[in-house]
C-alpha cells in the first residue's frame, strides 16, 4: 500500500479543542532540529514606515534594515550625519508626539524598542504580539497602537508605563497597515483574500475534488466568503475601552493590502494594493500578456462605505489603465505619500522601479507623470522603491528602496510641469553597511521586476510576496488554446493541473523536487515561467531570463524562515505537543508507515513524490515540507454547494486548498483515509505538535530584551538566564549593546558576543577584557540600559564585534585607519585583520610581502546535519579565512562560498539536485587569502526512496507513415521507466491527438488512443488519420492524458515524467 501524505498544512487543526483528558507526564520525544546558521540571513522583512521626520522638520531618520543601522540625515542634505545600531528586524520608525523618543517596531523580535532620539540610547524594549508591523500614536503621545500581524490583533501600549495594557483581536489575516483619523483607527489586513476559493467537481458534487478557482459570490445557494479588508477600531476614554466595530468593516477592497494612508485635508483613506486575477482564468495561456494581478489604489471614505462592496465610499484608481503607456506603469504599489495640500499623490511601484505621480481633484485622480528611480550602480538592474514620504516642508520626496537597500531623495520643485512627464530621480544613495551579496540583490531585483512580463504589471513577487505567499489557489495548467479563449471554452489541454495553492519559496533549495507535483527537478527549471506565464518579451518572442536566472535561484536559497511563534521558548514539546510528536514519529498507521516516514525530520520532507489520496487533478505530489505550516491558519467557513467547507480566505490546506483543517483531511479526502487508524485524540495531538513544528531556527534567535534600572535583577534572573542557556545549548548566538559612551575621540556604542563555555562576552576591541553578564547587569542597574539579542548561529560576531569579518575588531579599525564596513581597504585581496596578523599594512597593496605559506585546515571532521533523497546539509570550520569551491565526484564546482565577504572560517552548506540512494564524494577546494590551497574530501550518501521509484514516461517517439494510396498512419512509441530499469507490463496509456494549423486547433479523433505497456516497458499507439489531413498543413500533437496503473504495481506520477507530449509535422 502506498502512503498517504498530508499536503502542506493539511495536518494542522489550529483551532482544535484540548484533549478531553489530561495526558500523563512523559519524557519529551527526541525530535531532531536543524539549527540553521549563517553570517547573514535574509528574512526579507516587509518595511512599513522606515522613514521618519523629527518634530521640527529638520531631520529625517531612515532604517537600514539589513545593516542594522538607523541613519540620521539633515533635510535636503545627501549624506547621513551619523548612524546608530538597530535591532535585527525593524520595519517602522515612528516619532512619539510631545517627546524626543523614537519607537522602533521590530517584526522579528516581536517587540518595540524605545530610543532616545537626542542621545541614541535604547531605553526600553516592549514585548508585543508576534510580528508587529505598523504603529501610530494618539495626538498627545500617551497611547500607542501596534498591529501584530502573526497574532491578528492590535496591541495598545501605555506610553507612561511602556506596557501593553490591552489587545484587540482583528478578524483578518496579517493586519499590517494602520492609520488614526481622529478617534478612529483603521487597520488593513495584508492577506485579505478576494472572495475566491477552489471549487469541487460539479459532476460528482465532491467539494474535495477541486477543478477550478471561482468567485464564491457568483454562485447560487452558497454563502459568500467574508472578504474583510479594512477594520475600524473606535477609541475610548481609556485603552480598555478601545474596541473593534464589526459593523464598520469594509469589504472588497483588494487582495494584498500594503498600507492605509489618510489623504491630507480629507477623510479619504488610500490603500495601495494588488488584486489577484486567479478566478476566471484557466491555465497560463489565459492570463493576457502575462498579467496575473491588477495594480490599484482603493480610495475609501469610511463614513460613506458602510461595509458595502464597491459602494459609494469605495472607489478604485486602476494604475494599469491610468498610465499613458505600458512602459511607465506603476506595478506592485506598496506605499503612497501626499503633498502637504493633498492635491498630489506619489505611489511607489516596487516592481516597476518607479514612483507614479497623480494629481488629485474633485473628479478623481489623473496621471501627472512618472519618476524613475536610479539605482546606486548599473548593477543591479533596479532599486525596488518600497516606501515614500514627503518632507514636512514639501520640497523633497524621500524613497526607501528595499530592492537594493538605498535611499532616493527627489527634489519635488524640479519635477516637470508638462503632462505625462518622465523624470529621472538623482542616483540613490546606499544606506551604509549592507551584508547582502550583490548576487542576492540582483536576484531580488529580477524576482520583483515587472518588466519581465509583457504587460509590465506582474512578477514572481506578485504571488510569492517577499518570497512567501498570497494565500490563494491558482489554475496554472498548460493549454494549447489561443490566449483569448474563454476559460469555459478551453478544449485543448496539454497538462491541466487544476487548482493549486501558492507555495512559499523560502529555503526552497532544501526541499526539492519543486512545485506541488515535483515536476521541477532543478531551480533553473522555473525559468520557463517567464516565457510561459509572464510572456517576458524577447527579440524573437517570449523568452526566459536565462543567464540571469541563477541570481533568482540564489535569492530564493537564502530566504530564511522565521522561528515558529507558537513554539515554546526553550524548544521543548510539552503535554499534548509531546504526545503529538510521539504520534508523528512512532505511531505505525494502518497502512504500515508513520507520518515521519514521508515527512522526514527535521524538514518534514525527504523530497519523495508519492500518491496522496486526495482529490483534484494531481493524484501524486512531492511531499511538502512542514516548516512554517502553522502560518497557514484561517478559520473554517461553510460555503456550501460544490465548495463545501473552506477557510475564510478561501484556500486552505492541501495542494488544492480544499481542506480547512486536519479533521477534514482525514474524514473527507478521496478514498478511505480513516483507514489510517488514528483516534480522535491522536489527531488532536498530532495537530498540536504540527502547530509548533520547528522551522530550523529556535525562538531564541529572535530574542530582544533591555535591562535597565527598574528591572535589572528580575531581567537577569529570567530573561538573560534564558538567553545564555540557549547560547550554551547551541541554539543561538547572544550579543549585547549599550551606549553611546565615550570612546577614543568621540562616542560609540559598546557591543559584544557571548562565548559559550566561558560565561563571558567578547568585546569589540582587543584592548577590552571580556565582560561578565553580572557586570552588564550592574551597568543597567546603575542607569545605563543594556540590550541583549539572540541571533541565528554565526551572526553574533559580524553583528557585535567584527562587522566585515576581516579579523580586525570594529573598535580597533580606527586605530589602523581602516573601515568597519570594508574588509579589504587597500584592495589587495587580503582581509585587513589578516594583514595585521601577518605583519603587513592593511592600507598598502603589499600582498607579495605576506609570509603565510600554510594552506588552510579543517578544525574537525565535516558534520552531516541531514540528508534527503536529493540534498545534503553539512557544516565545517577552518583555521583561517578561507574561500571554498565545492564539487563532488570529480565534477565541476557547484558552489562557491562565502559570497560576501570573500573568505570565512565557519560554513553551513546545502547542496541539492542530487540523486536518491547514491554515494557521493564531496571535494572542498579551500584557498586562503594568500592563495595557499588544500583539498579535503568527505563521503556522504543521500537518503533512499522510502517507497521505491515511481513510474515515469521517459521518451515518446512519434512519426507519420504515408502509403501509396495517400493514406496516413500516426504511430507513437511511449517508453516507460522506473528508476534505472523497466516497470512491469500492463500500464494502460491514454492519449489524445490534436491537429494544429497555424494556431487553429482540432481534435483528430473523439476517441481516446489507448494501449497497454509490454514487457519492454513501452506502449504503442496508432491511429489512421482522416483523409482530409493528407492535404492539410500543420502539426500533429500527441498528449498523454493518463497512465492507468495495474493492481499492486508502482504508481505513475506526472511530476516524474521526462516528457508527456510529442509532435510531428504533416
Per residue in 939-955, pLDDT (tens digit) is 999 999 998 999 999 99
Split into its structural domains, the chain has a count of: 3
- Whether the per-residue pLDDT at 14 is higher than 50: the answer is no
Range of the domain at 874: 863-941
- Contacts of residue 966, Cβ cutoff 8 Å, sequence gap at least 6: 1027, 1030
Query: Residue 965's pLDDT is what?
Result: 67
Which is it for strands 429-430 and 863-867: parallel, antiparallel or unpaired? unpaired
Give CA separation, 296 vs 291, 293, 321, 329, 639, in Å: 13, 9, 9, 11, 28
Does 719 reside within a domain? yes
- Whether the per-residue pLDDT at 18 is higher than 60: the answer is no
Is 957 in the same domain as 1027? yes
- Whether the per-residue pLDDT at 674 is higher than 50: the answer is no
Summarize the confidence of residues 478-492 as an average pLDDT: 90
Per-residue DSSP letter, 577: H
What is the rounded CA–CA span in Å between residue 706 and residue 760?
Answer: 18
Residue 880 is part of a domain; what is its CATH number? 2.60.40.10
Query: Residue 2's pLDDT is what?
Result: 31
Query: Residue 312's pLDDT is what?
Result: 58
Residue 1057 is part of a domain; what is its CATH number? 2.60.40
Summarize the confidence of residues 370-390 as an average pLDDT: 93
Structure confidence at residue 393 as a pLDDT band (50, 70, 90): very high
Does 405 reside within a domain? no
Summarize the confidence of residues 372-379 as an average pLDDT: 89
Structure confidence at residue 1029 as a pLDDT band (50, 70, 90): confident
- Whether the per-residue pLDDT at 311 is higher than 70: the answer is no
Summarize the confidence of residues 479-495 as an average pLDDT: 90
- Whether the per-residue pLDDT at 558 is higher than 50: the answer is yes
Query: Residue 1's pLDDT is what?
Result: 29
Structure confidence at residue 869 as a pLDDT band (50, 70, 90): very high
Does 752 reside within a domain? yes
Is 936 in the same domain as 1000? no
Is 918 in the same domain as 893? yes
Most trustworthy range by pLDDT among 199-213, 343-357, 1028-1042? 343-357
Summarize the confidence of residues 325-338 as an average pLDDT: 98
Is 964 in the same domain as 1016? yes
Does 22 reside within a domain? no
What is the rounded CA–CA span in Å between residue 91 and residue 259?
Answer: 13
What is the rounded CA–CA span in Å between residue 549 and residue 63?
Answer: 30
Query: Residue 665's pLDDT is what?
Result: 65
Does 329 reside within a domain? no
Query: Residue 28's pLDDT is what?
Result: 72
pTM of the predicted model as reported, rounded to 2 decimal places: 0.94
- 980-1008 per-position pLDDT tens digit: 999 999 999 999 999 999 888 999 998 99
Cell digits for 218?
A: 457568483
What is the rounded CA–CA span in Å between residue 154 and residue 186?
Answer: 11
Summarize the confidence of residues 211-236 as an average pLDDT: 95
Q: Are 48 and 42 in contact (CB under 8 A)?
A: no
Summarize the confidence of residues 665-690 as an average pLDDT: 68
Query: Residue 16's pLDDT is what?
Result: 28
Query: Residue 670's pLDDT is what?
Result: 33
Is 922 in the same domain as 986? no
Last residue within a domain, chosen from 941, 972, 990: 941
- 436-467 per-position pLDDT tens digit: 999 999 999 999 999 999 999 999 999 999 99
Is 918 in the same domain as 869? yes
Query: Residue 990's pLDDT is what?
Result: 97
Last residue within a domain, chosen from 770, 801, 832: 801
Query: Residue 15's pLDDT is what?
Result: 26
Cell digits for 849?
A: 610581502
Is 956 in the same domain as 1020? yes
What is the rounded CA–CA span in Å between residue 349 and residue 366?
Answer: 17
Query: Residue 5's pLDDT is what?
Result: 34
Q: Count CA atoms closer than 13 A to 855's CA, side-chain side.
A: 11
Q: Is 361 exposed, middle or buried (0-12, 13-18, 19+ CB in 10 A)?
A: exposed
Query: Residue 663's pLDDT is what?
Result: 66
Structure confidence at residue 378 as a pLDDT band (50, 70, 90): confident
Structure confidence at residue 614 as a pLDDT band (50, 70, 90): low
- 52-85 per-position pLDDT tens digit: 999 999 999 999 999 999 999 999 887 888 899 9
Is 902 in the same domain as 982? no
Of 346, 313, 161, 162, the residue nearest 232 (C-alpha):
313
Query: Residue 672's pLDDT is what?
Result: 41
Query: What would the 3-class secondary structure string for 91-154 be?
Result: EEEEECCCCCEEEEEECCCCEEEEEECCCCEEEEEEECCCCEEEEEECCCCCEEEEEECCCCEE
Is 711 in the same domain as 797? yes
Give CA separation, 827 vs 498, 818, 845, in Å: 55, 12, 7
Does 795 reside within a domain? yes
| Mean of pLDDT over the chain | 92
Residues linked to residue 415 through DSSP beta bridges, in sequence order: none
Is 976 in the same domain as 1032? yes
**Share above pLDDT 70 across residues of the chain, in percent, rounded to a whole number:** 95
Is 981 in the same domain as 1011? yes
Please give the residue that has the higher pLDDT: either 632 or 802: 802
Rg of the Cα atoms in the chain: 30
- Whether the per-residue pLDDT at 308 is higher than 80: the answer is no
What is the rounded CA–CA span in Å between residue 950 and residue 1054?
Answer: 10
Per-residue DSSP letter, 1045: P
Is 936 in the same domain as 961? no
Does 599 reside within a domain? no
Of 984, 924, 923, 975, the residue nearest 949 (C-alpha):
984
Query: Residue 718's pLDDT is what?
Result: 98
Structure confidence at residue 975 as a pLDDT band (50, 70, 90): very high
Query: Residue 209's pLDDT is what?
Result: 87
φ, ψ at 96 (rounded to 5°) = -80, 130
**Share above pLDDT 90 across residues of the chain, in percent, rounded to a whole number:** 82
Last residue within a domain, chosen from 776, 801, 826: 801
Does 695 reside within a domain? no
Please give the residue that has the higher pLDDT: either 784 or 687: 784
Query: Residue 539's pLDDT is what?
Result: 87
Summarize the confidence of residues 791-807 as an average pLDDT: 97
Q: Count CA atoms closer than 13 A to 184's CA, side-chain side.
A: 15
Amino acid at each position: 500500500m502506498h502512503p498517504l501524505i498530508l499536503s502542506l498544512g493539511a495536518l494542522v487543526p489550529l483551532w482544535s479543542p484540548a484533549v478531553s483528558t489530561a495526558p500523563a507526564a512523559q519524557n519529551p520525544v527526541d525530535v531532531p532540529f536543524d539549527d540553521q546558521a549563517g553570517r547573514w540571513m535574509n528574512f526579507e522583512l516587509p518595511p512599513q514606515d522606515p522613514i521618519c521626520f523629527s518634530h521640527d522638520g529638520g531631520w529625517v531618520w531612515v532604517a537600514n534594515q539589513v545593516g542594522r543601522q538607523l541613519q540620521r540625515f539633515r533635510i535636503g542634505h545627501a549624506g547621513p550625519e551619523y548612524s546608530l545600531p538597530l535591532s535585527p528586524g525593524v520595519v517602522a520608525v515612528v516619532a512619539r508626539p510631545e517627546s524626543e523618543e523614537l519607537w522602533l517596531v521590530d517584526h522579528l523580535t516581536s517587540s518595540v524598542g524605545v530610543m532616545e532620539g537626542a542621545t541614541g540610547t535604547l531605553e526600553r524594549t516592549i514585548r508585543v504580539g508576534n510580528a508587529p508591523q505598523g504603529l501610530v500614536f494618539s495626538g498627545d503621545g500617551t497611547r500607542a497602537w501596534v498591529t501584530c500581524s502573526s497574532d491578528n490583533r492590535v496591541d495598545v501600549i501605555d506610553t507612561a508605563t511602556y506596557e501593553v495594557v490591552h489587545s484587540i483581536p482583528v478578524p483578518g489575516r496579517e493586519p499590517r497597515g494602520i492609520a488614526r483619523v481622529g478617534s478612529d483607527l483603521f487597520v488593513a489586513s495584508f492577506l485579505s483574500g478576494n472572495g475566491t476559493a477552489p471549487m469541487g467537481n460539479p459532476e460528482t458534487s465532491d467539494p474535495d475534488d477541486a477543478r477550478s478557482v471561482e468567485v464564491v459570490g457568483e454562485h447560487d445557494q452558497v454563502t459568500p466568503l467574508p472578504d474583510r479588508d479594512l477594520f475600524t477600531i473606535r477609541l475610548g476614554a481609556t485603552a480598555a475601552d478601545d474596541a473593534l466595530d464589526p459593523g464598520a468593516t469594509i469589504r472588497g477592497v483588494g487582495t494584498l493590502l500594503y498600507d492605509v494612508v489618510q489623504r491630507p485635508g480629507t477623510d479619504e483613506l488610500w490603500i495601495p494594493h494588488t488584486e489577484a486575477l486567479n478566478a476566471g482564468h484557466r491555465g497560463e495561456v489565459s492570463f493576457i500578456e502575462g498579467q496575473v494581478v491588477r495594480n490599484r489604489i482603493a480610495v475609501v471614505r469610511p463614513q460613506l462605505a458602510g461595509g458595502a462592496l464597491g459602494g459609494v465610499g469605495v472607489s478604485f484608481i486602476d494604475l494599469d489603465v491610468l498610465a499613458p503607456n505600458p512602459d511607465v506603469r506603476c506595478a506592485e504599489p506598496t506605499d503612497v505619500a501626499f503633498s502637504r495640500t493633498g492635491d498630489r499623490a506619489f505611489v511607489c511601484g516596487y516592481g516597476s522601479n518607479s514612483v507614479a505621480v497623480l494629481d488629485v481633484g474633485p473628479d478623481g485622480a489623473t496621471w501627472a507623470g512618472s519618476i524613475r528611480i536610479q539605482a546606486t550602480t548599473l548593477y543591479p538592474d533596479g532599486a525596488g522603491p518600497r516606501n515614500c514620504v514627503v518632507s514636512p516642508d514639501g520640497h523633497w520626496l524621500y524613497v526607501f528602496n528595499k530592492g537594493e537597500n538605498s535611499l532616493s531623495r527627489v527634489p519635488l520643485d524640479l519635477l516637470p510641469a508638462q503632462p505625462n512627464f518622465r523624470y529621472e530621480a538623482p542616483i540613490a544613495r546606499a544606506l551604509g553597511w549592507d551584508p547582502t551579496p550583490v548576487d542576492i540583490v540582483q536576484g531580488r531585483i529580477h524576482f520583483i521586476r515587472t518588466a519581465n512580463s509583457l504587460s509590465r504589471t506582474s512578477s514572481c513577487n506578485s504571488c510569492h510576496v517577499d518570497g512567501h505567499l498570497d494565500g490563494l489557489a491558482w489554475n496554472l495548467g498548460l493549454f494549447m488554446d489561443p490566449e483569448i479563449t474563454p476559460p469555459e471554452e478551453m478544449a485543448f489541454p496539454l497538462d491541466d493541473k487544476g487548482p493549486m495553492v501558492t507555495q512559499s519559496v523560502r529555503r526552497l533549495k532544501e526541499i526539492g523536487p519543486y512545485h506541488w507535483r515535483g515536476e521541477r527537478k532543478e531551480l533553473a527549471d522555473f525559468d520557463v515561467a517567464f516565457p510561459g506565464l509572464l510572456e517576458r518579451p524577447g527579440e524573437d518572442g517570449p523568452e526566459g531570463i536565462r543567464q540571469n536566472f541563477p541570481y533568482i535561484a540564489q535569492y530564493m536559497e537564502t530566504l530564511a524562515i522565521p522561528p515558529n511563534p507558537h513554539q515554546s521558548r526553550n524548544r521543548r514539546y510539552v503535554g499534548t505537543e509531546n504526545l503529538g510528536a510521539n504520534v508523528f514519529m512512532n505511531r505505525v498507521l494502518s497502512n504500515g508507515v508513520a507520518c515521519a516516514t514521508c515527512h522526514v525530520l527535521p524538514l518534514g520532507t525527504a523530497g519523495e513524490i508519492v500518491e496522496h489520496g486526495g482529490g483534484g487533478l494531481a493524484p501524486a505530489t512531492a511531499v511538502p515540507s512542514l516548516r512554517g505550516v502553522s502560518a497557514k491558519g484561517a478559520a473554517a467557513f461553510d460555503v456550501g454547494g460544490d465548495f463545501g467547507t473552506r477557510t475564510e480566505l478561501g484556500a486552505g490546506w492541501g495542494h488544492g486548498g480544499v481542506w480547512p483543517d486536519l479533521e477534514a483531511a482525514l474524514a473527507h479526502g478521496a478514498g478511505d483515509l480513516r483507514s489510517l487508524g488514528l483516534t480522535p485524540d491522536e489527531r488532536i495531538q498530532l495537530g498540536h505538535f504540527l502547530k509548533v513544528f520547528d522551522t530550523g531556527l529556535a525562538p531564541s534567535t529572535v530574542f530582544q530584551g533591555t535591562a535597565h534600572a527598574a528591572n535589572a535583577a528580575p531581567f537577569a534572573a529570567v530573561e538573560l538566564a534564558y538567553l545564555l542557556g540557549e547560547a550554551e545549548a547551541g541554539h543561538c548566538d547572544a550579543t549585547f549593546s549599550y551606549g553611546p559612551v565615550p570612546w577614543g575621540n568621540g562616542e560609540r556604542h559598546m557591543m559584544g558576543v557571548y562565548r559559550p563555555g566561558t560565561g563571558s562576552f567578547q568585546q569589540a576591541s582587543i584592548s577590552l577584557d571580556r565582560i561578565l553578564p553580572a557586570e552588564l547587569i550592574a551597568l543597567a542597574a546603575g542607569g545605563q540600559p543594556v540590550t541583549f539579542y539572540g541571533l541565528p548561529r554565526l551572526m553574533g560576531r559580524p553583528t557585535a564585534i567584527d562587522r566585515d569579518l576581516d579579523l580586525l575588531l570594529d573598535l580597533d579599525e580606527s586605530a589602523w585607519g581602516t573601515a568597519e564596513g570594508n574588509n579589504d581597504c587597500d584592495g589587495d585581496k587580503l582581509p585587513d585583520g589578516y594583514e595585521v596578523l601577518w605583519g603587513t599594512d592593511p592600507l598598502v597593496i603589499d600582498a607579495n610581502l605576506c609570509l603565510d605559506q600554510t594552506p588552510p585546515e579543517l578544525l574537525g571532521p565535516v558534520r552531516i546535519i541531514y540528508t534527503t533523497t536529493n540534498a545534503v546539509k553539512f557544516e565545517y570550520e577552518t583555521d583561517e579565512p578561507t574561500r571554498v569551491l565545492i564539487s563532488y565526484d570529480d565534477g565541476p564546482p557547484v558552489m562557491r562560498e562565502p559570497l560576501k565577504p570573500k573568505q570565512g572560517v565557519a560554513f553551513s552548506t546545502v547542496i541539492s539536485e542530487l540523486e536518491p540512494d547514491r554515494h557521493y564524494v564531496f571535494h572542498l577546494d579551500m584557498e586562503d587569502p594568500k592563495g595557499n590551497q588544500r583539498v579535503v574530501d568527505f563521503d556522504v550518501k543521500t537518503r533512499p526512496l522510502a517507497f521505491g521509484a515511481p513510474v515515469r514516461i521517459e521518451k515518446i517517439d512519434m512519426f507519420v507513415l504515408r502509403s501509396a494510396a495517400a493514406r496516413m498512419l500516426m504511430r507513437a512509441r511511449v517508453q516507460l521507466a522506473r528508476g534505472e530499469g523497466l516497470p512491469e507490463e500492463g500500464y494502460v496509456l491514454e492519449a489524445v491527438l490534436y491537429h494544429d494549423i497555424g494556431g487553429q486547433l482540432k481534435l483528430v479523433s473523439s476517441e481516446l488512443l489507448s494501449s497497454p505497456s509490454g514487457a519492454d516497458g513501452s506502449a504503442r499507439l496508432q491511429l489512421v488519420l482522416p483523409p482530409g489531413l493528407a492535404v492539410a498543413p500543420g502539426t500533429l500533437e500527441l498528449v498523454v492524458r493518463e497512465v492507468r496503473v495495474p493492481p499492486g504495481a508502482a504508481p505513475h506520477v506526472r511530476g516524474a515524467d521526462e516528457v508527456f507530449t510529442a509532435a510531428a509535422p504533416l
